[in-house]
Amino acid sequence: MRALELVLWGVVLFWALAALHAVLNGLLIPRLRRTAPEGGLPFLSVIVPARNEEKAIAPALEALCDQDHPNFEVVVVDDGSTDRTPEILEGLARRHTNLRVVRGEEPPPGWLGKPNAQRVGLENARGEILLFVDADVRYGPGVLRRAASELEARRLDMLLLLSTLEARGLEHVLMSNLDAFTLYVSPAFLANVQALKGIAFGAGSGNLVRRRALEASGGIEAIRGEVVDDVAMGRRIKASGGRFRFVTAFSDVRVRMYEGLGSAVEGFTKNYFAFFGFNPFLGAFLEGGNLLVHTAPAGLLLLAPALHLPPQIMALSGASFGIGLLLNAALCLWAGKPLWIAPLFPLRPLFWSLILFRSARRYYRKGIVWRGREYGKGE
């Protein structure tokens, strides 16, 4: 029991540090400014790679094309879609004069599909300011102008917009992992410290960048083989000296990544192993730690009567679960999630451990599989 007690003290220490992260992140991670001046903005090109996006692309592109930015275009790259995406794009292009549809190309050796589609979009884009965004992300009215104004006012080279991840039912438990990482697991606010060039990230919800900064970082070619290309773009731009900032835009930018819990598990299975650099030992270590701090205290409390645990074990488990519950309630308020998911936070690592196992197994069997394309392990 002495060893278990020491481990639980470590878990309590984690939650104390997480509480500090939550306070600092909550105070220091800014929200996208609510207002912006009219006019006076450089030409902006929105680049949207699209492959088999028939379910989500129409409302996403309608929202983008209807933005009130004074000077912009939307460039969509149809990346070899085999569903109704080309037909939908053709209809949208007839209705919106600021929308251009470009036919994609098969990825050359060493290139993954999405970075290659981004390259094609970039070659056809006219703007000095570029917004790289996924085809299922919906922008609220005025977001493009407000984001571009913030980029200019702060003389930034990259502005990242964090979105609300929409979900239903138990999907919320799974999806809240991404919000938890931003609010309390990591000191995410440090990404906005310019001197810390090694701390930055990106997201498919919106990487707004200057063309010259992207080129200085090595361009799209530098991330041609990156599965998590959005994150790699942010890191490279900041590491090369670009001025980086990220803001939350929870009420303005929304995405429904997957329909149903099973679809979400399958979707994340495709790329979750890549977050650990395809390193099974790192993945097992970090996901094991996730289970230890989030799931084990609740499990001990549930099993306490059968295990006849001593009071100090109960107290440490209760303290860990209690702090975790409070932080996850704060997460729900911060990110606009329903409060009922807060007490279910111990279930979250169970989902993600399963996803990691499936993702690693699939990688070693088939390599990288994404949007119907298969790539070797080294590609």
Least confident of 157-166, 170-179, 323-332: 170-179
Contact 354, 174 (CB under 8 A): no
Superfamily for the 29-260 domain: Spore Coat Polysaccharide Biosynthesis Protein SpsA; Chain A (3.90.550.10)
Judged against a pLDDT cut of 90, whether residue 134 lies above it is answered with: yes
State residue 70's pLDDT score: 92
Buried/exposed code over 121-133 (b: 16+ C-beta within 10 A; e: otherwise): bbebbebebbbbb
Q: For residue 60, which of 279, 168, 181, 206 has the smallest C-alpha distance?
A: 206
Give 376's pLDDT tier (boundaries 50, 70, 90). low
What does the block give as tokens for 154?
Answer: 């702060």
SS3 164: strand
pLDDT, average across residues 92-113: 93
State residue 64's pLDDT score: 97
Judged against a pLDDT cut of 80, whether residue 1 lies above it is answered with: no
Burial status of residue 329 (CB atoms within 10 A of its CB: 0-12, 13-18, 19 or more): middle
Judged against a pLDDT cut of 60, whether residue 310 lies above it is answered with: yes
Contact 111, 225 (CB under 8 A): yes
State residue 378's pLDDT score: 52
What does the block give as tokens for 128?
Answer: 């000095």
State residue 94's pLDDT score: 95
What does the block give as tokens for 27?
Answer: 């105070």
Q: What does the pLDDT look like over 24-79, one tens digit per residue?
A: 999 999 999 887 776 689 999 999 999 999 999 999 999 999 999 999 999 999 99
Q: pLDDT over 90 for what percent of the chain?
A: 77
Residue whose token pair is 């074990």: 313
Give 20's pLDDT tier (boundaries 50, 70, 90). very high
Give 377's pLDDT tier (boundaries 50, 70, 90). low
Q: Cα separation of 298 and 278, whole Å? A: 30
pLDDT, average across residues 284-307: 93
242 sits in which H/E element: none
What does the block give as tokens for 260?
Answer: 């149903």
Q: pLDDT over 70 for what percent of the chain?
A: 96
Q: What does the pLDDT look like over 223-279, one tens digit per residue?
A: 998 888 999 999 999 999 999 999 999 989 999 888 888 888 988 898 899 889 899
Give 136's pLDDT tier (boundaries 50, 70, 90). very high
Q: What is the pTM assigned to this prediction?
A: 0.90
Q: Map out the domains of the chain as residue ranges.
A: 2-25+263-362, 29-260
143: alpha, beta or left, given left = phi > 0 and alpha = psi -120 to 50?
alpha
